[in-house]
Amino acid sequence: MATDRAAGRPRDRRTHEAIVSATEEMIMLHGYAGTSINAIASRAGVGKDAIYRRWPGKPELVYEALFARVDTGPVPDTGTLAGDVAQLTQALVDEFATPAATAALPGLLADFAADPALRTRLRSAFLAPARARMVEIFDRAGARGEIAGTAQVDLILDTLAGAVFFHVGLMGEPRTAELAAQLADIVTTGIGTR
């Protein structure tokens, strides 16, 4: 009979939360590059070790603080591929175009891309929920006969995410209300006829 109970003093949940909150605040206030582990620890009232004990470095910490939300919402099901993709694209906009995400994403994606160990997790870290939904959406659309054959889920998802990131996150274009609808329209139409 195995005991899963870890030996020693258990990690304090409040320490964890203080770090995550301080990270969020620092990112919003000073951006990704302007956020140092030292400053996070100081603002959280925590030793640096408490951070390094939990995360290997800044990228992993910031990712968890800002993007590791469990996606619990229902999969879009509007009855049409266009409607479903529009809803999913809106979710991407909600994830990538918030002030916090805009402040963090460029630097964060750069750090993930630069580190071989993190690089392999890029897709699963940032696009996993959207991808699962997209697979289901496309399956239903195939069952309805809206599309034929195998859709290239990854390419389409990268296109949507890349468009949102580039347009709003990097170029700083105002996040117009219709952005998701426009992108979804382009992509849905674009793949529909193939």
Point out which residues bind DNA (CB under 7 A). Answer: 3, 5-12, 15-16, 18, 36-39, 42, 44-50, 52-54, 57-58
Residue 122 makes contact with a second copy by CB under 8 A: yes
Q: What angle do CA 88, 64, 111 make, to 5 degrees?
A: 90
Q: What angle do CA 94, 99, 100 make, to 5 degrees?
A: 90
Assess contact for 44 and 22: CB atoms under 8 A: yes
Which amino acid belongs to residue 90?
Q
Choose which of 20, 23, 32, 61 interacts with a second copy (CB under 8 A). Answer: 32
Q: Is the CB of 4 or the CB of 49 nearer to a second copy?
A: 49
Residue 9 makes contact with a second copy by CB under 8 A: no
Assess contact for 112 and 64: CB atoms under 8 A: no
Minimum CB distance to a second copy, residue 116 (Å): 10
Assess contact for 136 and 72: CB atoms under 8 A: no
Residue 98 makes contact with a second copy by CB under 8 A: no
**Distance from C-alpha of 182 to C-alpha of 31, rounded to nearest angstrom:** 29
Structure tokens at 158: 């990268």
Residue 23 makes contact with a second copy by CB under 8 A: no
Minimum CB distance to a second copy, residue 152 (Å): 7
> How many residues of this chain bind a second copy (CB under 8 A)?
46
- For a second copy, the binding residues (CB under 8 A) are 31-34, 106-107, 109-114, 119, 122-123, 152, 154-156, 158-159, 161-167, 169-173, 179, 182-183, 185-194
